Structure 1
Amino acid sequence: MPMLPIPAFVALVLAYLAGRTFLSGGRKVLVFFMAACAVQSFLVALVGGYNVEWLRPVLPVTAAAIPPLAWITFQDALVRRLSLRNLSLHAVAPAFALFCRVFAPETLDAVVPVIFVAYGAAILWRISMFSDMPLARLEAGETPGVIWKVLGWALIGSALSDVLIALAFMTGNDSWTGWMITASSSLAMLLLGLLSCSPAASGAENDEHEARAAPSHESIAEDDEILARLESFLSREPLHLDPNLNLTRLARRLHLPEKRLSAAVNRATGSNVSRYVNAWRIRHACHLIEAGSSVTDAMLGSGFNTKSNFNREFRRVTGVAPSAWRRGADRASNVAEISGSRKSM
């Protein structure tokens, strides 16, 4: 009876997640990234599980394509849309791995881990440079950054796994490699599953009309003036109720550079733009609940798409769960009705 190796199972799960993301209208870059990971897991299964040895020389080359794709997906989801020229630059990594495969195969055990470490470190460094991800949905809070930090460390961990596997072969401990491959494949399945289900997976779409109508320009306003402009704008135009709102769109509407707006909110409030906007959303949700709306309707009507994000931000702003606020609103309504009935007697 044929057995299904763990990497083959991982490949099937990743292929399913890639297909689901594609059918749900997810970013094509993310779909391609997950499909590439599925193909890599399938190749690992064929070589390690079914001893298809003629594919073994291909594995380092295909593996070298995963970190650049992770970086491209990260940039596309949270930072900025990449041009074709930017994309072509990242083809250097797998191309160099192919060159080494042909002309210096003994160097691959060092080259491939270096590629993984370099891109993992690049993702971590890029995240550290932003208090707010320009293209991330503000309703997601800090979740996108956390998930991509984990993925960045996972790339570095994968490099360590490759080094350990190479050392196992060099020291004659081939039996260890199966467990190492199984562990790394299982981790990849978990991380990519989380990635595909999170707001970090797709980011928010840019409004091209806004981009043309309100180009960015350098502002000389002080932080408190920028915050006053932001408060006035949100009071006049409740853009915070749009669940697809991101830092880029908000900065364009205020005619400010993204970093200038983010820095001003940071210094003026001690928080980031995501938390600031979500506080406006939660106050709106509180008013809806007090007016009789259900918690779910208040969540959807206040710019949140996911219950977990809504509950987390609600607790952060109010100190209680939405259900507790709902009960408090009901009690206040009952007290008001009783008081009114007594006055009419």
Structure 2
Amino acid sequence: MLSIPLPFLAGLVFALTLYRSLKGVEVPGTRRYFYAFLALYALQGIGVGLRFGYGVEGLTPFLPVSASIMPPLAFLAFRGLTSKPLPRPWLHLLPPLAVSITVGLFRDLVDPLLLAVFVGYAFALWRLTVANGAEVMAEASLQRMRPAFRAARLTAGLMLFFAVSDAGLAVYAGLYGSDDVPLAVAIMNIAAIAAVVVYYFAPELAVSGAPARPAMKATAEEGAILARVEVALEDRELYKSEGLSLAKLARRTGLSVRDVSSAINRATGLNVSQFVNNRRVAEACRLLRESEQTVTAIMLDVGFSTKSNFNREFRRVTGMSPAQYRIRANQAQSGSAEPKRT
């Protein structure tokens, strides 16, 4: 039982969330794992259809093996968004290898082993997101960092949910029969759909929209780091790069991700995304005052990719929408241009 619902349902959610999270990410390793997952997911879906729709029994030994490959791919894809190198990636070949051996020699152990694989990787992925919050996804662009973080936690939660619920179903069916299993499976499907709907349509509790914390007294070293960051952002107008990430900014300054993030947090009370967006909004304000460009053109020119993010950040910094800012700026300029009456 575990070899079918686990990879199919968890894989569907993973494909949707990871695809959205990796837009604009320029990390070859993560893309490679993601594309491998999509190919495997397609083959798994075809295999499930042929096995249960057309009775192709020859596929039965292969489905548990392909299922066991999905959790490592999910973990490696998200792990690639961190700034830390991955030691011994070949170790992640061991779970599929163990399942392959079990399928051939110890068929009764296939389901327990798959359960262990899914639960183990679910906890590993969740643990990855515990330290440093969204900024752990340092290789993701600043605008995708928070969605990638949420997607990683959602994927970990769903893998654990389906592993535990499928194991419970297997035990229940063994003790009391399988009459109530279809209802339980339907409830699991509804839960998965609900999770996807919440992820895509509920208002995102983005860190960038949160109020800034009071700045702490920065040390001389942190002040020097902040100055280097500001110089790097102005160099070739790096702050306008839509794909700018925390890791890329750290590499430009020659510093570690932790040092850059900590210095910005302590010296300004802002997170890295807010700090960079403050500079983008300042440039947007200048263009709104001095140019005839449309708001959309200005949004793209200063480094934002979506109107929702641009409007939210602009309102956070200025207290008004870009259109309202332009109207007030034009009114102020018109007022100052009128000759004084005697």
Pair 1:254-2:253 in alignment:
yes
Q: Which amino acid aligns with 1:101?
A: V
CA contact (8 A) 1:48 1:178 kept: no
CA contact (8 A) 1:109 1:162 kept: no
Could you say if the C-alpha distance between residues 54 and 316 of structure 1 is closer, same or farther in structure 2, counting changes exceeding 3 Å? farther
Could you say if the C-alpha distance between residues 96 and 116 of structure 1 is closer, same or farther in structure 2, counting changes exceeding 3 Å? same
Pair 1:155-2:130 in alignment:
no
Where does residue 224 of structure 1 map in the other structure? 223
1:8-157 matches, cutoff 5 A: 27-79=31-83, 86=89, 88-131=90-133, 132=135, 133-157=137-161
CA contact (8 A) 1:243 1:304 kept: yes
Q: Which amino acid aligns with 2:221?
A: E
Q: CA deviation at 1:135?
A: 0.4
Q: Which amino acid aligns with 2:171?
A: L
For 1:80 and 1:191, locate their aligned partners in 2 and report how far apart those are by CA, in whole Å: 29
Instruction: Return 5+ residue gaps in structure 1 as ranges.
Output: 1-6, 196-219
Where does residue 273 of structure 2 map in the other structure? 274
Q: Which amino acid aligns with 1:274?
A: S
CA contact (8 A) 2:83 2:247 kept: no
CA contact (8 A) 1:43 1:59 kept: yes
For 2:260 and 2:122, locate their aligned partners in 1 and report how far apart those are by CA, in whole Å: 28
For 1:90 and 1:257, locate their aligned partners in 2 and report how far apart those are by CA, in whole Å: 27
Q: Which amino acid aligns with 2:93?
A: A
CA-based RMSD: 3.6
Where does residue 287 of structure 1 map in the other structure? 286
Instruction: Return 5+ residue gaps in structure 2 as ranges.
Output: 1-7, 201-218
Pair 1:305-2:309 in alignment:
no
Counterpart secondary structure, 2:77: helix
For 1:259 and 1:96, locate their aligned partners in 2 and report how far apart those are by CA, in whole Å: 37
Task: Report how many residues are paired.
Answer: 302
Q: CA deviation at 1:301?
A: 0.9
The Cα offsets for residues 96-145 of structure 1, whole Å up to 9 and x where unpaired, read as 11122222222222211221111111111112223412201013352221
Q: Which amino acid aligns with 2:314?
A: F
Could you say if the C-alpha distance between residues 115 and 317 of structure 1 is closer, same or farther in structure 2, counting changes exceeding 3 Å? farther
Pair 1:296-2:296 in alignment:
yes
CA contact (8 A) 2:138 2:245 kept: yes
Could you say if the C-alpha distance between residues 243 and 230 of structure 1 is closer, same or farther in structure 2, counting changes exceeding 3 Å? same
Q: CA deviation at 1:297?
A: 1.2
Where does residue 165 of structure 1 map in the other structure? 169
For 1:144 and 1:316, locate their aligned partners in 2 and report how far apart those are by CA, in whole Å: 22
Structure 1 length-normalised TM? 0.74
Matched residues, percent identical? Answer: 32
Which has the higher mean CA deviation after the structures are superposed, 27-36 or 330-339? 330-339
CA contact (8 A) 1:241 1:301 kept: yes
The Cα offsets for residues 296-323 of structure 1, whole Å up to 9 and x where unpaired, read as 1121111122333323333333343xxx
